[in-house]
Amino acid sequence: MNPLPHASAWRRRLHTLGVKLFLAIAGANIVLVVAAYQIYSRSFDQGLVEYLNTADEARLTPLIQQLADGYRAHRGWAWIAEDRQRWQGMAREVFGSGRSYHPRESPRARAGAGRHEPPPALTIDPRMLLLDPAGAVLIGPAERAENAVREPIEIDGQRVGYLAYVPRLAIIESLEQVFREQQARRFLAIAAGMLAAVVINAALIARWLSRRLNALRHGANRLAEGDYGARIAVVGLDEFAQLAADFNNLAGALESARRSRQQWLADIAHELRTPLTALRAEIEALQDGVRPLTPAGVNSLAQETGRLTRLVDDLHLLSLSDLGALHYRFSPLLLGKRVRDCLDAGERMIAEQGLSIELSLEPDLPILGDATRLGQVFDNLLQNTLRYTDPPRRLRIALARHDGHAGLLWEDSAPGVDAAQLASLTERLYRVDESRTRASGGSGLGLAIAKAIIEDHGGRLECGPSALGGLRWDIRLPLATEEERDD
C-alpha cells in the first residue's frame, strides 16, 4: 500500500530517500560554509585591526622622539602648536613623504619646501592629537580626545605631553575598511563556488545511493512475487556490496527452500502412495474373491497399515518439531543407563540379526532429558544398524565425558556411505540408493527425527565414517548441573 495515497506526485517525490539524502548533505555543507564565512570575517576583521593598531604604535615611536627633541630645543610646545605646517611636515616624514624635518629649520625654508611637497597621506595623521601634560588639546580635533589612545612624551624622566591617536575601530570610512570589503567580496565569491560544488556533490551522492538502493528494492519486489532466481550485481567492497551479497545469499536460500519443499511434498506423496497402493490391491483382491480372507491376508493388511501409521506418526512428529511444539518431559537421568535400556528392549532383534555389540559406558554421566524421546533416538539408530549392515554385524558404543558434555559414539560395520552423502543422511526422506535402499523397510525419517530430538536437548548429532567400515554417529549432550540434579 502506498504510504501517502492522498499526496501529489511532487510531495511523494520529496519523501524519497534520494531527496532526503540530497537535502541532508547539502544542508550540512551549507551550514559549514556559512560558519566558515562568519569565522573568517570575524577573525580577519579582528586580526586586521590589531595589526593596523600595532603598526600605528610602531610608526608613532619616531614621531614621539622628534616631538621630544623639539620640546627640548624650544622649551615648550608653542613652536609646533602655532605652526600647523610643521606638524604636517613631521607627519609626512614619519608616514612616508620622503622629506625629513629638523627642529631648528626656519619657517621660511619649510614654507618654500612645502610648496613642492605632496599633501600628507590619509593614514594616521588625521586621527592624531597633541596634548599638553594636563591633557589639553594643542593640535587635532578636540572632540576625539576622549576616545584617543595616549602615548606619553618624556624628557629626562619628566612627562611634557602626550601624542594621542584615535584607534581604527572608531574610524569607519578608511582605506582599511575598503580593503576589508574587497576581501569580503572575494570570500563571498569563493563561498558561492563552494556552495555550488556542495550542491552538485550532494546531488551526485544522493543519486548514487538511490540507484543502489533501487536495485535492492527491485530485487526484494521480485522475491516478494516469488521470483527466487533474482540476483543483484555485487559492485565494490563497501557495505552496499556486502548487502547485495547477503541479498543474493537470501535469494539462494529461499530458492533452495522452495526446491526442498517441492521435493518434500513429492516424497511424502510417494511414501504415502506406496502403502496405500498395497492396501488397495489387497482389499480389491479380497473383494473380487481373488484371495480368500485368511489370517495371512489379514496380517499383510495389518503390516501395510502399521507402515502407513508409522509414516504418518513420523511426519507429525517432525512437523511438531519444526513448529517448536514437540512436547518434552525433562528430568535428570543417567545417559549410560538409558542406552542399556534401549539395547535390552531390542534384545530379541539383536539376537535374530546376529549383531555383536561392544559397550564402553561411563556410568555416572547425568543429563537433563526426556527419557522417552531419547529412547526414540537410540531405537532409530539401532534400527538403522540392523537394517543396513551386512553379516557379520558389529556395533560399538562408547560413552565418556568431554569438556562438560556427555559424548556418545555409535559405530557400526560395513557397508559404509560415500563421504559426499554423509551430510544428507539426516535429511527427511533421504536414502542412499545403493547399499541402503527403501527395500530395507525404513521410511527415511528416523535419522531426521533423531537429529531434531538431540538438538532440542541442546546437543548435536554428527555423522562420519566408522572404523568398523560402516557409519559413526557422534552425539554430544550437555551434562546436568548440580541444581538440575537436585531438582
- Mean pLDDT for the stretch of residues 319-342: 90
Helices (H), 123-170: none
In sign, the C-alpha dihedral spanning 285, 290, 293, 294 is negative
Span 275-306, pLDDT tens digits: 788 888 888 888 888 888 888 878 888 888 88
Element counts in the chain: helices (H) and strands (E)? 14, 11
Which pLDDT belongs to residue 427?
84
- Please state at what angle helix 175-224 crosses helix 239-287, rounded to 10 degrees: 10
Span 68-99, pLDDT tens digits: 888 888 888 888 888 888 888 877 776 654 44
Q: Which of 251, 254, 244 is nearest to 213 (CA)?
A: 244
- Mean pLDDT for the stretch of residues 445-458: 92
Residue 66 has pLDDT above 70, yes or no: yes
Determine the residue type at 65: Q
Which pLDDT belongs to residue 79?
87
> Using an 8 Å Cβ cutoff, are 425 and 365 in contact?
no
Which pLDDT belongs to residue 8?
61
Residue 217 has pLDDT above 70, yes or no: yes
- Mean pLDDT for the stretch of residues 257-269: 78
Residue 454 has pLDDT above 90, yes or no: yes
**What is the β-pairing status of strands 394-402 and 366-369?**
unpaired
Which pLDDT belongs to residue 46?
62
> Using an 8 Å Cβ cutoff, are 372 and 379 in contact?
no
Q: Of 46-55, 116-125, 378-387, which gets the smallest average pLDDT?
A: 116-125
Which pLDDT belongs to residue 410?
97
Grid coordinates standing for 445? 525419517
Backbone angles phi, psi at 355, to 5 degrees: -85, 125
In sign, the C-alpha dihedral spanning 14, 16, 18, 23 is positive
Q: How far apart are CA 364 and CA 336, in angstroms?
A: 8
Edge-first strand listing for the sheet containing 405-413: 356-361, 394-402, 405-413, 469-478, 460-465
Which pLDDT belongs to residue 59?
74
Top-level class of domain 245-323:
mainly alpha
Q: Which of 198, 184, 183 is nearest to 33 (CA)?
A: 198
Burial class of residue 200 in the structure, from the number of CB atoms within 10 Å of its CB (0-12 exposed, 13-18 middle, 19+ buried): exposed
Helices (H), 115-174: none
Span 442-451, pLDDT tens digits: 567 889 999 9
Which pLDDT belongs to residue 25?
72
pTM of the model: 0.52
Q: CB 72: neighbour CB atoms within 10 A? A: 12
Query: Which residue is associated with the grid cell 533452495?
Result: 256
Average model confidence (pLDDT) for the chain? Answer: 79
Which pLDDT belongs to residue 389?
93
Return the H-helix or E-strand segment holding 210: helix 175-224
Determine the residue type at 295: P
CA atoms within 13 A of residue 232's CA, in its CB half-sphere: 28
Characterize 453-470 residue by residue with b for buried, 16 or more Cβ atoms within 10 angstroms of its Cβ, and e for exposed.
Answer: bbebbebebebeebebeb
Which pLDDT belongs to residue 359?
96
Which pLDDT belongs to residue 301?
83
Indicate the pLDDT class of residue 49, thresholds 50, 70 and 90: low
Backbone angles phi, psi at 362, to 5 degrees: -70, 125
Q: How far apart are CA 231 and CA 220, in angstroms?
A: 10
Domains of the chain, residue spans = 1-125+171-227, 245-323, 331-486
In sign, the C-alpha dihedral spanning 213, 219, 223, 226 is positive
Grid coordinates standing for 232? 543483484
CA atoms within 13 A of residue 129's CA, in its CB half-sphere: 23
- Mean pLDDT for the stretch of residues 9-15: 60
Which pLDDT belongs to residue 124?
53
Grid coordinates standing for 34? 556559512
User: What CATH number belongs to 331-486?
Assistant: 3.30.565.10
Q: Which of 298, 390, 300 is nearest to 353 (CA)?
A: 390
Determine the residue type at 419: A
Q: How far apart are CA 91 and CA 105, in angstroms?
A: 16
- Mean pLDDT for the stretch of residues 333-343: 94
Residue 105 to residues 93, 110, 460, Cα–Cα distance (Å)? 14, 7, 114
Indicate the pLDDT class of residue 358, thresholds 50, 70 and 90: very high
Which pLDDT belongs to residue 76?
87
